[in-house]
């Protein structure tokens, strides 16, 4: 059984969110955000709109390599290096 909706206050309250799933059981939409996945079922994109989104890039061992946040045209990339503090800098366009 999959989580289908969130209602306000009680089981008969108005519906706040509806959930959609892909064939692999991954949430593709939760009422506010859309989710995309890689061929190995790990998140590649979470978006609310074209101006508010987060992308994820993974390495060959399925480790997170970087995360890129876009908010109203400003892009910030956070690189992940095992054993090091994450480094953050804005992307130059």
pLDDT tens-digit series, residues 52-75? 999 999 989 898 999 999 998 899
- Which pLDDT score, from 0 to 100, does residue 66 have? 93
- Which pLDDT score, from 0 to 100, does residue 19 have? 86
- Which pLDDT score, from 0 to 100, does residue 51 have? 85
Q: What ranges do the domains of the chain cover?
A: 1-32, 44-93
- Which pLDDT score, from 0 to 100, does residue 13 have? 79
Which residues in the chain belong to E strands, given as ranges?
Answer: 5-7, 15-18, 20-21, 27-29, 34-37, 43-49, 52-58, 64-71, 74-79, 87-90
The low-confidence residues of the chain, meaning pLDDT below 70, are 1, 3, 5-8, 82-93
- Which pLDDT score, from 0 to 100, does residue 3 have? 64
- Which pLDDT score, from 0 to 100, does residue 44 have? 97
The verdict on pTM exceeding 0.75 is no
């Amino acid at each position: 059984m999959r989580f289908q909706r969130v209602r306000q206050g009680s089981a008969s309250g108005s519906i706040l969110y509806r959930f959609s799933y892909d064939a692999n059981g991954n949430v593709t939409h939760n009422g506010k955000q859309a989710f995309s996945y890689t061929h190995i079922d790990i998140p590649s994109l979470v978006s609310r709109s074209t101006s508010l989104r987060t992308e994820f890039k993974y390495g060959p061992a399925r480790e997170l390599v970087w995360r890129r946040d876009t908010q109203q045209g400003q892009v910030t990339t956070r690189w992940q290096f095992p054993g090091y503090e994450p480094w953050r800098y804005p992307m130059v366009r």
